[in-house]
Homo-oligomer: A and B are copies of this chain.
């Protein structure tokens, strides 16, 4: 990168998610020199969804002392059209056909690039997380949804529609519970944070989780990954069982991906893994042993990502470098 980006040039990486928007600025060594975050809440109904993104970016530029910005990379949830720079739709946020690249490149007068957030998170963990020696990598990010990023032969798989990697909507239980996508039995309906919260709320209503009853009452919106981890830490076995089951089912989906794609590395990230990493690693290892074929799984490493909350935004800066500076059509 040293030869490609000058030492006085900086790149902005933006992670626009369902709950937060994060803008970081990196230098030519991918060191983060400023970081600014805003809640997404409230802006989904705005007629100008770009307003809040622009504000967040501007705050991060100011926090960095107004350096020279050479470009912006954006990671967004749901299906995106990277070629045309359009967020196709994000059911949880409410955008549809949002021409984010056009708008931001006009506003900031620099090149802007876009890809799916999980693709970029996986890409960053691959390149900046010390895994670049591998060729076939799958990133799995369980949270409110469960996203997947696929790197095959050192390239992100976008597929014909541009939106490949929807591992959260892999059917694991025909006629299973209803998913946000309208189907039944998707991995997300069985194992996302919402699926976990649903089960834990039933525990609370039945008086089977005194710790959580005390901490959050019956307000499901307060049931964050950290609180769940605290409950388990405090010996709530039934809460642990629910998390273990979700992690195991995530592992079954990962085993299916191993059977189909034969990766050498699985990188886990996202809020649930950050807070409950040990349980996730244990249960996923177990599920992979039970559901992936021996010759396909024997050399697969399963690890926790290293970049935490910055993964997507860092991946967006990498995307900018690959596409604009190295002129690669795809990463």
Contacts and interface: CB of A to CB of B under 8 A. Distances in A.
A75 B148 CA distance: 32
Instruction: Count chain B CB atoms within 10 A of each CB in A153, A160, A299 and give the residue with the most.
Output: A160
14 contacts: A88-B295, A135-B160, A152-B157, A152-B159, A160-B263, A160-B299, A163-B296, A166-B259, A167-B259, A169-B293, A171-B172, A171-B256, A173-B173, A181-B293
B183 A291 contact: yes
A118 to B, nearest CB: 12
Contacts of A32: none
Contacts of A136: 159-160
Contacts of A87: none
B259 A169 contact: yes
A309 interface: no
Given A171-B252, A183-B291, A252-B174, A153 B155 contact: yes
A260 interface: yes
Interface string A86-114: 00110000000000000000000000000
A162 interface: yes
A291 B179 CA distance: 11
Q: How large is the interface on A (under 10, 10 to 19, 20 to 34, 35 or more residues)?
A: 35 or more
A173 B185 CA distance: 11
Interface string A239-268: 000000000010010011101111110000
A150 interface: yes
A199 interface: no
Given A160-B136, A252-B171, A255-B171, A260 B166 contact: yes
A9 interface: no
A165 interface: yes
Contacts of A290: 183
A161 interface: yes
Contacts of A161: 262, 295-296, 298-299
B264 A160 contact: yes
Nearest to A290: B183
A73 interface: no
Return the 7 tightest CB-CB contacts between A and B, nearest first. Answer: A159-B262, A160-B264, A164-B262, A166-B259, A161-B262, A170-B256, A171-B291
A213 to B, nearest CB: 31
